[in-house]
Structure 1
Amino acid sequence: MIKTRILDLPVQSDVHAHAHHQLIVGLEGSADFEVEGISGAVNRLQACLVPGHRWHAFSGRGPNHMLILDLHSDQPGHGGSENDGLVRLFDAPRFVRLDQRMQGLLDFAVQVLGSEEAAESPMAWHLGGVLLHGLHDRLFSTPVPLSSAAAIDLEKLEAHVRENLERAISVPELATFACISSSHFHHLFKQVSGLTPHQFVLKIRLEQATSMLTGSTMPVAEVASRCGFSSQSALTHAVRRATGKTPKRLRSLA
């Protein structure tokens, strides 16, 4: 039996456990989840799979709408049903990246579950099954499933980079921060962000440097140092390559 509904999660942290398995996906906003020491963000890009009877903590990051699917695997007549295969999804806590196909299903879910009556309709039940089967295929039909060990929180990684912008930041450091082995991190990060880790860090350095160049009179050499560039010339080269302008020209146009 699958129950599908939309809830707003409270900002105040809560902790509980329940017998049924649960899938949580963000339709609007985001929330933080932790299941037996495995933590991550839940939003339009990443879902959380909580096995039954597992204690989990959660809190919303401000206003949010979460799609909640409960899979009751202990219902009478469950044995031998097609839901048996879905239980494999919940053999361990997982954070799963959602691909473009799943995004389309979520858009449809918002339309279908727009009222309390719709949430109790047969369509909602079938929609829950489609979403769970889609995740099952996503995890077990691809060579590199994005399981809990490979959950990449881009917001936390970006915050870490910005906090350490003045120094060199290596890929192994980012992998360690994300609790992922270095051998898998580069490939998984590219899947999630569309950028290599090096491109991701450079993008943040350039954003900060551009902001400082256009919003202050700080010497270009100091901007370069504060944003982690090895020299003023390295910053100039990077800015010119990204914008077609030198730092001096960029500043004069601000």
Structure 2
Amino acid sequence: MTDYNATFHFDQVRYASAGSIVYPPGGRFGPRIQQDIQLVLLYTGQMNVAIDGRTLHVLPGHAVLLKPGHEESFAFSRTEESWHRWIAVHLDPLEAHTRDALYRLPEVLPLTEEMNRLTDLLLNLQSYLPGDMPVVRSLGLAALHLYPTESMRMSEQREKHPSVHLAVAWIREHYAEEISLSDLAACAGLSSEHLLRLFKQHEQTTPIHYLWRYRIERAIELLATTGLTISEIASRCGFKTSHHFARMIKKTTGRTAKEIRQSSWSGLRKT
């Protein structure tokens, strides 16, 4: 389990900000010297981050933790658009024990709903509040504590059973593809029956139900935060057809895809 025993304090946070950008195929950014602690959330495409000459490969559905003082360059997918959002927190110089704890954290974690919600809040607030306002700084502080919290939670999940973790990680990387129970069992190195028993024990659901739940979560995010068409979202999230997508969204949420999108954009306009 990750050892994280340092605490950031509100008075250390100078300002916080969030953003969202889509890079075209072959897009690049940098080099730059990172000034903040930055959490970058990748939703589509791919991203190679060169940090002081060392390359970190980031797949969609993951968040990467960037730390101040390093030279960074970004290279995005050559074949598709790469959409990411970020939270940046600017702090006073870190004490040695806090810096050490920060560097013990994993550089990449799977995206979580909590990360998305925090990013949504910051994006909405900064449309009318500057980054040094207390409420915005408080959200920045929350981001600093959320990442290690998620790291510890995921470490606990891995400790449940490594084969379940392997299957879940594979789902999060390949959910747009056609996936069967036998595919998941093969990646986990188990029989289908054994994987099914482990999922029911540790996730309280089946592997295929977990897969469809994850696809629906990603699809709702794209509905709420992008202008992609229904057919594009259906294709990116592994649904067989637009009709299948619409039926699953309605069955799961009780709302149509159009209603979800209208509700999300209405909320943004009110802020």
User: Which one has more relative contact order, counting CA pairs under 8 Å at least 6 apart?
Assistant: 2
TM-score (norm 1): 0.48
Q: Which has the larger radius of gyration?
A: 1
TM-score (norm 2): 0.46
